[in-house]
Amino acid sequence: EKDSVHAKVNTKIIETCTKKGCWMTVDMGDAQPPMRVRFLDYGFFVPTEGVEGRNTVFEGIAYRDTLSVEALQHYAYDAGKDSTEILAITKPEAVVSFTATGVIIEE
């Protein structure tokens, strides 16, 4: 019902940005699509590989957002998708996004 909420989330990492670790997607349960987590002011990053499936805890602001086609294509490129998959993205997407002020990834 709100546009944004301060939260602490404990979940599993699905993937991270393969270019520089500037975002990650996380599992939000069976009934929800994955959530993209970005980091406040690019003040920190996560590993670009090797953390998929690991548990993570992060804190910050969750908010409703609409990602443009350009943003979605950029994220697909960052995730290492091929050009066919990137060009197949043709519609904006309404999502819940998260700006984290801190992240812990379990070993």
Per-residue pLDDT tens for 22-69?
Answer: 999 999 988 788 999 999 999 999 999 999 999 999 999 999 999 999
- The set of residues, in sequence order, having a beta carbon less than 8 Å from that of 88 and lying 6+ positions away, is none
Average pLDDT over residues 65-86: 93
Per-residue pLDDT band for 2 (boundaries 50, 70, 90) equals confident
**Terminal Cα-to-Cα distance of the chain (whole angstroms):** 35
pLDDT of the residue at 32 = 86
Task: Kindly state the percentage of the chain with pLDDT values over 70.
Answer: 99
Average pLDDT over residues 66-75: 94
**How many contiguous H segments (helices) and E segments (strands) does the chain have?**
2, 5
Strand 93-105 and strand 35-39: pairing? parallel
User: What is the pLDDT, as a whole number, of residue 26?
Assistant: 96
* pLDDT of 1 over the 80 cut: no
Phi and psi of 9, rounded to 5°? -120, 140
